[in-house]
Amino acid sequence: MNSAHELSTLLTALRALHSDAEPKAALATITRTRGSTFRRPGTRMLVLGNGKVVCELSGGCPQRDIVARALDVIARGETSLVRYNAESGLDVLMEMGCGGELEVLIEPLLAMHDTDFIDALASCLGERHTIHLATQFAVDNSPIMPRRLVWNGHRVLYNDIEDAMLVQSILENASSSMLRRANTLHMPSIEGSTDVLMEAIEPPHALIVIGSSAAARALLPLSSALGWRTTLVDHDPARLRATDHPAALRTVCATPRELINAVSLDMHSSVVVMTHNLEQDIAYLSVLREAPVAYIGALGSRDRVARMRHSSALNGLHLHAPAGLDIGSETPEEIALAIAAEIMAVINRKNGGSLRNNNGAIH
């Protein structure tokens, strides 16, 4: 699937197309993979009529071939389903990269209504809800112009799938465990055996950094580069007026007592406390015990962290401290990298170990 930063870029480009009376573009979506591949199902790339690419898939041989096919799809106005495997004779393009197999749906976007589903996606993600998307793209192994179902929980937000029984089957099969990763299912429909890409799209991760230490300042641009919605919190307004902050950074002046009402916290957010004042750290951390966040971390030496853990104010708090993966970091920039990596590992349910320990397979 696309990263938070890619998704934001992609949605912006698609909304621009949606306002164009005569758009000329094609959307390429990975629908299936086998073996080791550069990206997972649900990852999308937009190809404009002039050949410009939004959200590159790989940059290698498969991407160049996909772009060329996308331009042909734009010219013909017909959907294409390309399989990069031995049967198609296109496996050589994969062997020059990862050696796996994949299937790519390429659909033309030549009319305003072709991107009607975008508003439902953008609106729900803007409200920080996980959204479910089902894309019907083939019948009896032949590609069709995609039809989509967008819903949040059991509330349907957009639907152009006319087969009511198929819609019901999609909703019944959309368990949270199944939608943790995008997956294509074979499903019966009134037209025949149909292929449906099922996926859950989560809102961009939000990072709240508390404190204005050097490591905190180094973490801000890295968080922004990852596409995370970044907020800097400090109880001293003077420290929030620095001129070198990232452009999209939100700043909040709040004491520990004011924190919960000053920032929005949810299961798609993380908090890192980095004030370099032990009492201040404990005060901020103590109000986060019931916060529904994915990750809470604190900066400090092992001795300092031990003192935190012995504080009764933090009883019951699941705290990552010292925050960050053990990569031998010393400088503020290295510490920021270690913290960001640990947050990514937590939200992706990974242990943060070396790829070598996973037989070298990335995906």
For 92-147, what is each residue's pLDDT tens digit? 555 545 567 889 999 999 988 888 898 888 888 888 888 899 999 999 999 999 99
The label of the residue with tokens 């803007």 reads: 126
pLDDT tier for residue 358 given thresholds of 50, 70 and 90: low
The label of the residue with tokens 């074979």 reads: 186
Mean pLDDT confidence for 85-97: 59
Q: Is pLDDT larger for residue 87 or for residue 307?
A: 307
Distance CA 24, CA 268 (A): 35
On the 0-12 / 13-18 / 19+ scale of CB atoms within 10 A, 298 is: buried
pLDDT of residue 177: 45
Predicted confidence (pLDDT) at residue 180 exceeds the cutoff of 90: no
| CATH code linked to domain 206-347 | 3.40.50.720
DSSP 3-state of 253: strand
End-to-end CA distance of the chain: 11
Predicted confidence (pLDDT) at residue 360 exceeds the cutoff of 50: no
Predicted confidence (pLDDT) at residue 88 exceeds the cutoff of 70: no
Consecutive H or E run containing 234: strand 229-234
Q: In Å, how far from its chain's centre is CA 42?
A: 11
pLDDT of residue 361: 53
Domain spans in the chain, listed from the N-terminal domain onward: 1-113, 116-203, 206-347
For 231-279, what is each residue's pLDDT tens digit? 999 999 998 987 778 888 999 999 999 999 999 999 999 999 999 889 9
pLDDT tier for residue 36 given thresholds of 50, 70 and 90: confident
For 136-175, what is each residue's pLDDT tens digit? 999 999 999 999 999 987 789 999 999 999 999 999 888 6
For 25-35, what is each residue's pLDDT tens digit? 999 999 998 88
pLDDT of residue 122: 85
How would you label 39-59 residue by residue, b for 16+ Cβ within 10 Å and e otherwise? Answer: bbbbbbbbbbbeeebbbebbe
User: What is the pLDDT of the chain when averaged over all its residues?
Assistant: 88
Task: Tell me the C-alpha to C-alpha distance, in Å, between residue 351 and each of 180, 223, 231, 302, 341.
Answer: 17, 20, 26, 21, 10
pTM here?
Answer: 0.85
Amino acid found at 55: C
Mean pLDDT confidence for 8-21: 87
pLDDT of residue 96: 47
Which residue, among 291, 278, 252, 270, has the nearest Cα to 4 in the 3D structure? 270
Q: Is pLDDT larger for residue 88 or for residue 135?
A: 135
pLDDT tier for residue 47 given thresholds of 50, 70 and 90: very high
Q: What does DSSP assign to residue 114?
A: G
φ, ψ (nearest 5 deg) of residue 198: -105, 130
Q: By percentage, how much of the chain surpasses pLDDT 90?
A: 58
* Residues near 198 by beta carbon (within 8 Å), at least 6 away in sequence: 132, 133, 134, 170, 173, 174, 178, 179, 182, 183, 184, 185
Q: What angle do CA 236, 242, 244 make, to 5 degrees?
A: 150
The label of the residue with tokens 């070298």 reads: 360
